[in-house]
């Protein structure tokens, strides 16, 4: 059994739903996880915003606009009256339900119910479409088996048990369709796995059923070994270790969020990144198999700020770093890179909302300097410290570029450089030239 996940753009129009339908019916017995059609979750967020503000007109306006978009999709998607009527009835039910919220007290509980409707609609439309085509498609309601615990973490034992039971009840279907993103919480209320959470759903389901692979389908051509907008002749990366994918995930590379793939990683299930526009291309495989001696990719993260605090009090003083880190923690600001010397520490952050307060508080402990408009350049691959030569090749490539910080040894898979934003292009090109 495989798990196949399609994001919002992949099911973003009637035509695209049809394309996905032909893709997923090439093989029997898989579970297909769908996101809401693109734009829908954002519209639902917008509707919730109006409802919080008791702006009934704003809410109804957006609800009606979204409803008419779905009427268009339905009229294009189905060829016969029977399924057109079924889909229309289902979707109208949802939209009148949404409209009923204008008369209610509106809290985050109601908001989550609203946010869940996008995935409910897309999966119903797909299931009806497959059934109209004569496919034995069964819709598995995610709200019957996806659950988060009181920390908001997925309850993997519950998911495994319930999903197993639901599958057993529906044995023998040609294909199973289910919703990404949505779940129930400990109070049994409708909840979700956070925005973009459908990948997480796919990974959790894959782990729960012991899938042979988890396929994440998008409309982009997998991972490239460098930024194709900046560097010519970039190549698709065919294979990544889970750790390498996690390193790249932080760098805005268009791949999975690291926590989303953890269930797959622990269950040792390969994750494939595939392209709906080129369904037979090999894509990128992410698994637990290391590939010694290779550098996989270079990625950049923009809008970084570097902060240095220097103090002779740091020398041999225990507890200094704790005090520094506590300041960042108190402003809910996470640190990306860190470098320390005997008398100073440099850190990089990407969220500058509380920069002024952080700098103010840090001044209690030493002299603070800030460098704005920086960029992290990250090289990912086999960077095991016992290997020789890889760090020096990356360093050598950077020889003409002023480097503010270097971070190496934090994991076995990465070396990062902090440079000025204006040197980003030069750095990416130089690294590509020397590493690939």
Residue with tokens 């690939």, as numbered in its chain: 436
Tell me the C-alpha distance between 327 and 160, whole Å. Answer: 41
Contacting Mg ion within 161-200 (CB under 5 A): 196
Among ligand ASP, Mg ion, none, partner that 181 touches (CB below 5 to 8 angstroms by kind): ligand ASP
Q: Among 21, 36, 125, 214, which residue sits at the site for ligand ASP (rule: CB under 6 A)?
A: 36
Residue 339 bridge partners (DSSP): 346
Among Mg ion, ligand ASP, none, partner that 195 touches (CB below 5 to 8 angstroms by kind): ligand ASP
Could you give the strand order of the β-sheet that contains 30-34, starting from the edge strand earlier in sequence?
137-140, 175-179, 30-34, 2-6, 213-218, 271-275, 284-287, 239-241
Q: Is 7 in the site for ligand ASP (CB under 6 A)?
A: yes
Tell me the C-alpha distance between 67 and 405, whole Å. Answer: 52
Among Mg ion, ligand ASP, none, partner that 197 touches (CB below 5 to 8 angstroms by kind): ligand ASP
Q: Both tokens of residue 112?
A: 């989550």
Alpha carbon distance, N-terminus to C-terminus of the chain: 36
In the complex, least distance from residue 195 CB atom to ligand ASP, rounded to whole angstroms: 4
Nearest to 137 by CA among 153, 126, 122: 126
Tell me the C-alpha distance between 288 and 270, whole Å. Answer: 8
Size of the site for ligand ASP (CB under 6 A): 12
Phi first, then psi: give them for residue 12, nearest 5 degrees: -75, -5
Among Mg ion, ligand ASP, none, partner that 381 touches (CB below 5 to 8 angstroms by kind): none
Surface-to-core class of residue 81, CB atoms within 10 Å of its CB (0-12 exposed, 13-18 middle, 19+ buried): exposed
C-beta closer to ligand ASP: residue 10 or 234: 10
Nearest to 33 by CA among 155, 186, 159: 159
In the complex, least distance from residue 12 CB atom to ligand ASP, rounded to whole angstroms: 11
Q: Is 8 in the site for ligand ASP (CB under 6 A)?
A: yes
Strands 335-340 and 344-349: antiparallel
C-beta closer to Mg ion: residue 260 or 358: 260
Q: Among 4, 7, 83, 193, which residue sits at the site for Mg ion (rule: CB under 5 A)?
A: 7
Nearest to 284 by CA among 217, 205, 198, 379: 217
C-beta closer to ligand ASP: residue 118 or 270: 118
Among ligand ASP, Mg ion, none, partner that 180 touches (CB below 5 to 8 angstroms by kind): ligand ASP
Q: Is 252 in the site for Mg ion (CB under 5 A)?
A: no
C-beta closer to Mg ion: residue 118 or 154: 118
Tell me the C-alpha distance between 150 and 185, whole Å. Answer: 7
In the complex, least distance from residue 43 CB atom to ligand ASP, rounded to whole angstroms: 10
Q: For ligand ASP, what does the binding mask look like between residues 192 and 231, x meaning CB under 6 A?
A: ---xxxx---------------------------------
Size of the site for Mg ion (CB under 5 A): 2
Instruction: Name the site residues for ligand ASP (rule: CB under 6 A).
Output: 7-8, 35-36, 41, 118, 180-181, 195-198
Instruction: Name the site residues for Mg ion (rule: CB under 5 A).
Output: 7, 196
């Amino acid at each position: 059994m495989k798990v196949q996940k399609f994001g919002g753009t992949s099911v973003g129009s009637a035509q695209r739903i049809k394309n996905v339908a032909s893709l997923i019916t090439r093989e029997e017995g898989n579970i297909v996880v769908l996101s809401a059609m693109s734009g829908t979750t954002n519209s639902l967020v917008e509707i919730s915003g109006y409802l919080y503000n008791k702006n009934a007109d704003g809410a109804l306006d957006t609800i009606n606009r979204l409803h008419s978009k779905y009427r268009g999709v339905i009229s294009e998607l189905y060829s016969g009256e029977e399924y057109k009527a079924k889909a229309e009835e289902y979707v109208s039910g949802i939209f009148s339900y949404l409209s009923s919220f204008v008369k209610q007290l509106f809290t985050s509980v109601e908001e989550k119910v609203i946010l869940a409707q996008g995935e409910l609609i897309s999966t119903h439309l797909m299931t009806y479409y497959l059934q109209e085509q004569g496919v034995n498609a069964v819709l598995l309601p995610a709200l019957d088996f996806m659950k988060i615990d009181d920390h908001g973490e997925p309850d993997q034992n519950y998911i495994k048990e319930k999903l197993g039971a639901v599958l057993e009840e529906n044995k023998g279907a040609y294909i199973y369709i289910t919703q990404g993103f949505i779940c129930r919480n400990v109070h049994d209320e409708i909840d979700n796995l956070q925005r973009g959470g459908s990948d997480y759903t796919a990974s959790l389901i894959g782990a729960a059923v012991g899938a042979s692979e988890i396929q994440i389908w998008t409309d982009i051509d997998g991972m490239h070994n460098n930024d194709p907008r900046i560097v010519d002749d970039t190549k698709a990366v065919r294979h990544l270790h889970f750790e390498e994918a996690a390193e790249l995930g932080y760098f805005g590379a268009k791949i999975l969020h690291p926590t989303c793939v953890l269930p797959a990683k622990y269950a040792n299930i390969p994750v494939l990144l595939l392209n709906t526009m080129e369904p037979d291309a090999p894509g990128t495989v992410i698994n637990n198999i290391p590939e010694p001696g290779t550098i996989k990719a270079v990625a950049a993260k923009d809008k970084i700020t570097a902060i240095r605090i220097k103090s002779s009090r740091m020398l041999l003083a225990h507890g200094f770093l704790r005090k520094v880190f506590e300041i960042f923690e108190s402003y809910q600001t996470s640190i990306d890179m860190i470098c320390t010397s005997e008398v100073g520490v440099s850190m990089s952050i990407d969220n500058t909302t509380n920069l002024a307060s952080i700098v103010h508080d840090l001044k209690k402990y030493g002299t603070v300097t800030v460098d704005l408009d920086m960029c992290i350049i990250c090289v990912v691959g086999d960077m095991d410290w016992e290997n020789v030569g890889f760090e020096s090749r990356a360093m050598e490539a950077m020889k003409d570029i002023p480097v503010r910080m270097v971070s190496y040894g934090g994991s076995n898979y990465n070396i990062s450089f902090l440079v000025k934003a204006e040197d980003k292009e030069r750095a990416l090109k130089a690294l590509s030239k020397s590493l690939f």
